[in-house]
Amino acid sequence: AEGRSGLLNAATGTGKTYAIWGGVVNAALRSTDPTRSSPVIPALSRNRGDLETDLAPRDPESHEMPGQARHDKIRGGRSGTTGLKAIWITPLRSLAGEIADSARRMCEGVGLDWRVGLRTGDTSTKERAAQKKAMPQLLVTTPESLHVLLASKGADKLFAQLDWFVADEWHELLGSKRGVQV
């Protein structure tokens, strides 16, 4: 949120995805609502290990949850704009799908109306064309697909609003051709 880089290293299954994505979501919520004084931090279920949509109430006196009717969705991102705000790169297509699903659940849970896109070698030509026309706010992708996007005509416009870049499973990329692409 302050323009700094960071590194998170933790064991598998400890919630790294939610820890990182939670920071991005909190920053996005704060940028769209300057009156927001505290972050919205979703709880992780100890039993299921996934996002709980029943988030803690914002006001200790209130029993209403952020997902209830009084909570309006916050659209777009910075001042309601659209476009690519975050890229999440992972070397594994299967993991990319899981990350995209987790990010969607978190956005829905806190009322952030961001589109989450998935772009891998399995993404259809039709979906790729739709993404280039109107990029999602978060794009979960692989190094090869990101490389193609960066080399495409108009890439400067696609990435003009990019605020966050997450490289997941970085150790899988180090010392390989795929890491050089990033």
Three-state SS string across 28-81, please?
A: HHHHHCCCCCCCCCCCECCCCCCECCCCCCCCCCCCCCCCCCCCCCEECCHHHC
Asked whether the beta carbons of 52 and 44 are under 8 A apart, the reply is: yes
What's the pLDDT score for residue 179? 54
Q: Which residue has the higher pLDDT, 135 or 57?
A: 135
Q: Where are the domains of the chain?
A: 16-181
Q: At CA 168, angle to CA 166 and CA 169, rounded to 5?
A: 155
> What is the C-alpha to C-alpha distance for residues 58 and 4, in angstroms, rounded to an integer?
27
Helices (H) and strands (E) counted in the chain, each on its own, are 7, 6
Tokens 């009156």: give the residue.
35
- Tell me the pTM: 0.72
Asked whether the beta carbons of 55 and 40 are under 8 A apart, the reply is: yes
Task: Give residue 132's pLDDT band: very low, low, confident or very high (50, 70, 90).
Answer: confident
What's the pLDDT score for residue 45? 42
Query: 112 forms bridges with which residues in the sheet?
Result: 74
What's the pLDDT score for residue 114? 92
Does domain 16-181 fall under CATH 3.40.50? My reply is yes
> What is the C-alpha to C-alpha distance for residues 116 and 152, in angstroms, rounded to an integer?
21
